[in-house]
């Protein structure tokens, strides 16, 4: 909020980044000031030599006894020395000027900085306020990180703009989340599917009362029907799905009464936003036909910071081309299929891994799963499934294939399997498919 008032550009950084990843984003964004908690100073210390060419002022809050080699300024001292009458605090803002640069999750490679203006932020906030019927007395609770568009523009900014209360913590822990539920009695909760899995393992119906919750909003990745049913049984709540990207947060949100009646849908296009399916020629595809999801409206990003080629690839013909594959029904509900880049062809048939993953996740003994396309002598390409069994469970390939029989077509069945302890995830719970592919080399 301070950077917005100053007319500066806000660049939230992922606290789980490595030193090299941090340096990349600092350099790519051209950042001049880094505000950092003392807990994260160690991340910079080993790479301090890389900071010399960044012309970077580092401001820290908290004790800095662990960083004697870094030239730091202290936030509390700076605040104490400020003259609030300084003319620099009274800037006339250009509503079309950049307000923030948010970096994509990097599920397909190096993150790109999506630029959002002041005016786009206003429309995003108004859109979510309308979606969720935000009220002044609402308490919005989420442990989703604020360096992601969904939490920042989809939750915190709309909540505070409406005069509501926003509750968050530095790191997700299922037990802390449930404790906050008891202490703060939120009316709106937002969780990713991954978070919900951990929360469900900790819920004790006799101790955890969800009656205060008016809206449970979820998503972020594929959500199996079995999980939605488990949430309903334990909390009495329906998980409303939504769809958005860093490039255009909250394009769609699901109506409350359609969670089960239209399973798989992420809802209809929201206020200010046009969303449609484009076929291979770029024409609007009819209902039921799979194609690329495109969007237009005042909530779409301006482009990628310093990446004109990537911007042109994403925004052309007056539309954002999301790189996601989906289809719509006769009532304009949107259904996600997969990332365009994740699709592979097996025996001349298109296979979308997310469809197979959704069925794998319905297996009661599978905690997480991911599928990628790999070379196959017989079929050209075939699916390889990475399986994370639930703790203490021993799974066999035969048992999994038996479970999938009748759920997916034979050509979609994975031909290769690998059992792993965990999958490489982004901070928002999405699988880093490129790391799985790189592990094959």
- What DSSP state is assigned to residue 46? G
Separation between Cα atoms, residue 311 and residue 406, nearest integer Å: 42
Query: Does residue 205 form part of some domain?
Result: yes
Query: Does residue 107 form part of some domain?
Result: no
pLDDT, the chain, mean: 88
Query: Does residue 225 form part of some domain?
Result: yes
Instruction: Looking at the structure, tell me whether residues 262 and 298 fall in a common domain.
Output: yes
Query: Does residue 406 form part of some domain?
Result: yes
Query: Is 419 strand, coil or helix?
Result: strand
Residues 58-68 pLDDT 10s = 888 877 665 55
Question: Do residues 326 and 277 touch, judged by C-beta distance below 8 A?
Answer: yes
CATH number of residue 419's parent domain: 3.30.300.30
Instruction: Looking at the structure, tell me whether residues 348 and 312 fall in a common domain.
Output: no
pLDDT, position 264: 86
CATH number of residue 328's parent domain: 3.40.50.12780
Q: What is the span of the domain harbouring residue 403? A: 343-438
pLDDT of 109 > 60? The answer is no
pLDDT, position 245: 87
Query: Does residue 105 form part of some domain?
Result: no
Percentage of the chain exceeding pLDDT 70: 93
Cβ neighbours for 424, distance < 8 A, ≥ 6 positions apart: 431, 432, 435, 436
Structural domain count of the chain:
3
pLDDT of 160 > 90? The answer is yes
Instruction: Looking at the structure, tell me whether residues 216 and 274 fall in a common domain.
Output: yes
Give 268's strand partners: 253
C-alpha separations of 235 from 178, 204, 205, 433 in Å: 12, 10, 8, 32
Instruction: Looking at the structure, tell me whether residues 190 and 279 fall in a common domain.
Output: yes
pLDDT, position 212: 97
DSSP code string of 85-150: T-GGGSPPP-TTSEEEEEE---SSSS--EEEEEHHHHHHHHHHHHHHHT--TT-EEEE-S-TTSHH
Which of 317, 339, 361 terminates a domain? The answer is 339
Instruction: Looking at the structure, tell me whether residues 358 and 406 fall in a common domain.
Output: yes
Instruction: Looking at the structure, tell me whether residues 148 and 174 fall in a common domain.
Output: yes
Which of 60, 93, 126 terminates a domain? The answer is 93
Instruction: Looking at the structure, tell me whether residues 328 and 351 fall in a common domain.
Output: no
pLDDT of 105 > 80? The answer is no
User: Looking at residues 372-381, what average pLDDT do you find?
Assistant: 85
Query: Does residue 102 form part of some domain?
Result: no
Instruction: Looking at the structure, tell me whether residues 193 and 313 fall in a common domain.
Output: yes
Task: Say which range, 48-62, 180-194, 242-256, 342-356, has the weakest mean pLDDT.
Answer: 48-62
Instruction: Looking at the structure, tell me whether residues 146 and 292 fall in a common domain.
Output: yes
Instruction: Looking at the structure, tell me whether residues 225 and 361 fall in a common domain.
Output: no
* Encoded tokens for 360: 């794998």
Which of 93, 123, 146 terminates a domain? The answer is 93
Instruction: Looking at the structure, tell me whether residues 12 and 125 fall in a common domain.
Output: no
pLDDT, position 47: 53
Separation between Cα atoms, residue 352 and residue 376, nearest integer Å: 16
Q: Helices 193-202 and 225-235, interaxial angle, to 10°?
A: 40
Model confidence band, residue 278 (pLDDT cutoffs 50, 70, 90)? very high
User: Looking at residues 248-270, what average pLDDT do you find?
Assistant: 88
Secondary element (H or E) of residue 371? strand 366-376
Question: Do residues 37 and 66 touch, judged by C-beta distance below 8 A?
Answer: no
């Amino acid at each position: 909020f301070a950077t917005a008032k100053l007319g500066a550009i806000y660049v939230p950084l992922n606290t789980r980044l490595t030193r090299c990843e941090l340096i990349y984003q600092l350099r790519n964004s051209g950042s001049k000031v880094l505000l950092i908690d003392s807990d994260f100073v160690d991340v910079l210390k080993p790479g301090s030599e890389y900071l010399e060419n960044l012309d970077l002022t580092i401001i820290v809050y908290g004790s800095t006894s662990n960083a004697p080699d870094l030239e730091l300024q202290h936030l509390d001292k700076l605040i104490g020395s400020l003259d609030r009458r300084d003319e620099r605090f009274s800037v006339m803002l250009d509503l079309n000027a950049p307000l923030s640069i948010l970096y994509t999750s990097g599920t397909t490679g190096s993150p790109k900085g999506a630029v959002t203006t002041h005016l786009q932020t206003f429309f995003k906030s108004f859109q979510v306020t309308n979606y969720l019927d935000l009220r002044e007395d609402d308490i919005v609770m989420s442990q989703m990180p604020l360096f992601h568009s969904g939490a920042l523009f989809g939750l915190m900014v709309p909540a505070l703009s409406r005069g509501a209360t926003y509750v968050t913590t530095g790191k997700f822990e299922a037990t802390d989340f449930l404790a906050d539920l008891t202490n703060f009695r939120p009316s709106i909760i937002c969780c990713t599917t991954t978070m919900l899995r951990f929360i469900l393992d900790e819920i004790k119906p006799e101790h955890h009362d969800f009656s205060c919750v008016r809206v449970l909003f979820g998503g972020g990745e594929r959500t199996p029907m079995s999980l939605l049913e488990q949430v309903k049984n334990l909390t009495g709540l329906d998980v409303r799905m939504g769809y958005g990207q860093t490039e255009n947060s909250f394009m769609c949100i699901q109506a409350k009464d359609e969670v089960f009646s239209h399973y798989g849908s992420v809802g209809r296009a929201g206020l200010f936003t046009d969303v449609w399916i484009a076929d291979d020629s770029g024409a609007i595809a009819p209902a039921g036909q799979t194609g690329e999801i495109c969007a237009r409206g005042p909530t779409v990003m301006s482009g990628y910071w310093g990446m004109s080629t990537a911007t042109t690839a994403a925004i052309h013909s007056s539309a954002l081309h999301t790189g996601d594959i989906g289809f719509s029904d006769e009532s304009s509900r949107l259904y996600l299929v997969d990332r365009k880049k994740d699709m592979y062809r097996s025996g001349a048939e298109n296979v979308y891994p997310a469809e197979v993953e959704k069925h794998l996740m319905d297996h009661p003994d599978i905690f997480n799963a991911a599928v990628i396309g790999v070379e196959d002598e017989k079929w050209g390409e075939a699916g390889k499934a990475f399986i994370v069994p639930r703790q203490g469970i021993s799974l066999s390939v035969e048992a999994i294939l038996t479970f999938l029989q009748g759920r997916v077509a034979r050509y979609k069945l994975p031909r290769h399997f690998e059992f792993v302890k965990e999958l490489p995830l982004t901070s928002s719970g999405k699988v880093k498919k490129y790391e799985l592919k790189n592990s094959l080399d």
